[in-house]
Structure 1
């Protein structure tokens, strides 16, 4: 029987890391999860511990914390959170956190590092629209390439879950109508959409699963983690199709986070990922079944809004 692989999961109490940790924990014959979090006493951290995770307190800004946490790990799911207060107050901290992870992974001899990232906004826009939401992660990607750390890069999409976690969708009971409120993004802008809980986790696990036999193909490969490009109006149509309720789109003027505003203006001008075919054939070859907007509305959004599913 093959030995179980120890995987360190960053941001294990967040959307991305949490989805990866929970999926790996459902496969205890293959993986052991070391869940990295700043607060092991939090309810999400304790829930992971109940599921069998080794929950470890780690501050990614402290190299000694990271070095200790990655000892003995075969794999790592790496992610940094721009909206972490430490990073919002000091945007360059995101790059430092990511590089601390890379250095610790190299020192620990990690065999497979999966890095959640995005391209450079500066390069995409010719220097006109530079968002630190993008640049910190991009610089870490470059660092991984320079150091030669064995890794796969996951280009994330726009998260379906933002409709829930950022309250972008509201049901107005008095009007019997759903309103989709989103900052800056035009109703005709196509976004590469990702169901993090179902699909980012599945893609990450697939990389870990296939690493032994497809290492040469997956090493330093960029995988685009989105199932489709959709406009806000497409999303409104799905809400109507699935719940039977009319849905209107409202554009808000700002996110109140300047770097995020720049990112969304970039989407309006450049789209997401240019001419890249979505879904990515390389993701599909890993055997991942991606979920679409109707799947998300049925499973997450409709229950969140307290609406029945009719379609």
Structure 2
């Protein structure tokens, strides 16, 4: 008789990360045997297009909010594990951190729970010695909770609760948006202009497919990943390398235009008027503020990844070159992979 599947709750299931994470968890194992996991997807709207997509893929839908305690309790019932990905740009830093703590504490209170996996980001303010120029709300929110977890016990096997962190980065799919991609207009020589203000810095860019693989890897290796932060990337990408690789693969001429952070942000008109979270308008940081901190973090090379180890463990993962070839990326813009269009719409203006 086959063993019962381990039920994994995915919070943020209908978001950019959630869709490939669910797909990876439900996919057959490497040896072709059925996945050992079943998925429960938390969603505010089970009738939404993405929720229906998850249901058709085999996920169970659970209607609720990630900030509602009763929904947290109900969503956890009977689960073996959980992948928690919250969104700073929906609720703001304070509410996100508080909600994350609630999810962790209630994981301990559900008797079936064994593995709590947090989708983290690098704590930019801390890495930059708390200099204001590195303050990025979404990076800091995830990083603060990363630090909270490091002070918690983690039981690698048996009936206790394991915690793991999968720290990601900007999605490589963002190369199709002004957030990471080229300027709208080509230069006077007809070249695509890559110009985000990173100078000689490196960006831990990650494909959504690769995130899904690493989350599955983390659940598959509970003991190995117990109490650890797994920092992942598809590439530690330098923008000179981006321009060179893009031209070599596509045959389309391109250049890396070096702009200052404020100079680039001035091109993305209106971001100073958009709060990180809508309810914080007038009293919290703007999207421009947090993008500035993020770009400075990359520009000054504050982030690191062990790319040799990542390639060794996951040799099938994308490289920049293989992603360009497989997706047919040509430097043009496309709709954002993110659910929210509040910021994306402003970027496209």
TM superposition score normalised by structure 1: 0.83
Contact conserved, 1:12 with 1:18, CA < 8 A, in 2?
yes
**Correspondence 1:180 to 2:221:** no
Residue 150 of structure 1 corresponds to: 162
**Correspondence 1:54 to 2:60:** yes
**Match among 116, 130, 138 for residue 133 of structure 1:** 138
Q: Tell me how far 1:21 sits from its aligned partner.
A: 0.6
Return closer, same or farther for 1:113/1:179 CA change in 2, 3 Å cut-off: same
Q: Distance in 2 between matches of 1:46 and 1:81?
A: 21
Q: Distance in 2 between matches of 1:303 and 1:20?
A: 26
Contact conserved, 2:192 with 2:331, CA < 8 A, in 1?
no
Q: Distance in 1 between matches of 2:63 and 2:183?
A: 36
Return closer, same or farther for 1:285/1:299 CA change in 2, 3 Å cut-off: closer
Return closer, same or farther for 1:304/1:6 CA change in 2, 3 Å cut-off: farther
Q: Distance in 2 between matches of 1:177 and 1:285?
A: 35
TM superposition score normalised by structure 2: 0.75
Contact conserved, 1:236 with 1:247, CA < 8 A, in 2?
yes
Q: Tell me how far 1:117 sits from its aligned partner.
A: 0.9
Residue 318 of structure 2 corresponds to: 291
Residue 277 of structure 1 corresponds to: 306
**Correspondence 1:206 to 2:212:** no
Q: Distance in 2 between matches of 1:130 and 1:23?
A: 33
Q: Distance in 2 between matches of 1:288 and 1:55?
A: 33
1:256-267 matches, within 5 Å, as: 256=271, 257=287, 258-267=289-298
Secondary structure (helix, strand or coil) at the match of 2:165 reads strand
1:110-156: per-residue Cα shift (whole Å, max 9, x none)? 21112111243232111103322222212222333334251111121
Residue 66 of structure 1 corresponds to: 72
Q: Tell me how far 1:292 sits from its aligned partner.
A: 0.5
Q: Tell me how far 1:177 sits from its aligned partner.
A: 4.3
Structure 1 stretch displaced more, 250-259 or 231-240? 250-259
1:166-195: per-residue Cα shift (whole Å, max 9, x none)? 56246769976434353x322x21112211
Gaps of 5+ in 2: 29-33, 154-160, 272-286, 334-349
Residue 107 of structure 2 corresponds to: 105
Q: Distance in 2 between matches of 1:253 and 1:79?
A: 27
Residue 299 of structure 2 corresponds to: 268
1:211-264: per-residue Cα shift (whole Å, max 9, x none)? 2xxx1x321112120143221121122221221111234542256211221122
Q: Distance in 1 between matches of 2:108 and 2:326?
A: 39
Return closer, same or farther for 1:189/1:160 CA change in 2, 3 Å cut-off: same
Gaps of 5+ in 1: 307-311
1:90-117: per-residue Cα shift (whole Å, max 9, x none)? x211101211221221112421112111
Q: Size of the alignment, in residue pairs? A: 291
Q: Considering only aligned residues, what root-mean-square deviation do their CA atoms show, in Å?
A: 2.6
Return closer, same or farther for 1:285/1:189 CA change in 2, 3 Å cut-off: closer
